[in-house]
Chains A and B, each alone.
Chain A
Amino acid sequence: MRKAAFFFLGILIVLYCLFPFLWTVITAIKPPEEVFSLPIRYLPKRLSVENFVEVFYKRPFSRYVINSLVVATGGTILTLALASLVAFKLRYMPVQRALMLQRWLLVGAIVPPTLLVIPVFVAIKALGLINNPLGLILSYCFLNLPFGIWMLYAAFSRIPKELDEAAMIDGLWWGGILLRVILPLARAALAVSAALIFIFCWNEFLIALTLMPDQLRYTVPVGISMLSGASIYEIPWGQINAAVTITTVPVILIVALLQRWIVEGLTAGAVKG
């Protein structure tokens, strides 16, 4: 009895969580004329890819996807590179001090991007990097660095120090130790951090909106939000839903593949703070 109730509640939760996404997909695969048909059809009469084709043909959507890929990949690589350097340094610090530093990093990570957008804009403008992917990459690195350091420090501190010493005796310099010993051993944590930071960058809206005013530089979220009201007659909801589908499916795949580790990583960070 109790099991059945739990099962039922579970189904409710799944529906609640997945419904917006499912409805988006259903709208996207409807033929365009059916999107605006009343009464609403819950299952499309026929499957259609027209909405998808239109998003790519009529609008520079592929451009947005490339932009997003560039900044998200760049942001992830740069963040992880710097984070692994810092985490490696923290490893040699007394634990008390390292934890103190991390607590301050937590404060940095908690500040919402809304409060950072103006200072970041001023800084990036001073660097002359407006409309330049590098400007966005640097900002994303700045935003995600605390999180990256956290994740990597947690992973690094599980590796016994004796390994470093052994490598040192073998004549490796510290960079070599990091690259050849520590990073390979922490590759699981590295992969999860990479996935999460990639998702954060891929999803980011406000800073991308502000730092890339040129339409050809829009990232996917900015591009989609600008699709609204682009035509006289009506908002192209079929195309918008197709675009949303294309944007969200990769995120869902990443999450599904790395589910267990993501939860572990997230909570390891949050709970330590």
Chain B
Amino acid sequence: MSTLSGRARAIGLVRVLRLVLVVSLALAGSAVMAGVAAADSAVPYTDPNAVGYIGLCDQSGHQITSGNINTTPFAWRAISSTPALAPYNNSWRTAILLAYQPQQGLSPSEWSGDELTASSRYTDPADPMVAATDGDDSLEDFIEEFHPKWDGFLQLRIYLGTEDAEVYSVHYPTLNIHVSGDNWTAVDGGSVNCNSGTSTSLESIVLPASTIDGSSGAGAAIASGSKSHGSKNASGAAATDSPAASTGRTSAAGATLTGSRALASAAVSDSSHSSSATLISIVVAALLALATSAFFIRRRRTASLSPDSGPTKAPMKGHRS
């Protein structure tokens, strides 16, 4: 009996480990794919749709984690830590920055929100990136409409877009910020490289530079690493290549829109397949988990078969035979 009991314990242990492994992998996969954000003690809520974080940059290409709510635009660039997945990583990829008003008793999908920018084309699908312009909102503009209702917190999100597809908002990167007086402070998030690519707002493509003064210039300054206003002006001039408003004529307007498509395509011309990095990471993580579990199972099994393991040895062999 004692032999059978030891054998049963060994088999049971293996099965339990298998069960734990299967469930863990399923949960891990679900968590990764569903993007369950780790509960952050900095905010009193959890957003199950959040995947990754957002980093904000100033006009000089430096990451910022705090600022004044009256600054326009709120931030010159917002970068996602989460790569864009197909089809939102194709050559028509866009990204847009929005703000939301967390409300107790409502799920994050029910929170009210508004856009802080227009959609932007960006160069690297591994780093979805939103460019702002002077034509975009300050945080105060948003707060005027949606006052913080939950301990002063607001949530920023980046949604993705592409040609012939609805905006992707099932999962999104977030940055939670706290507003106090005229100041905001990021309470989570992480490091981003503000110079990891370039991004161009639709406003810079189709509106006259005078409408969005300094907008695309900021993008150029960040993209090139330059902090000079010379770069701003150069880019601003480039933005005037396609001002529909400057002509209002079919040929010009047509050229503008055709131009916007061309620019959109050019803006993402260095498209890479780095968005597959996430998938590869998941697969590698799963394989590592499997290997680790197999190692421990085999070690325990080996231990149970060793001469020192006593009563479990013979039954196991007998069972095999």
Are A and B bound to each other?
no
Residues of B within 8 A of A (CB): none
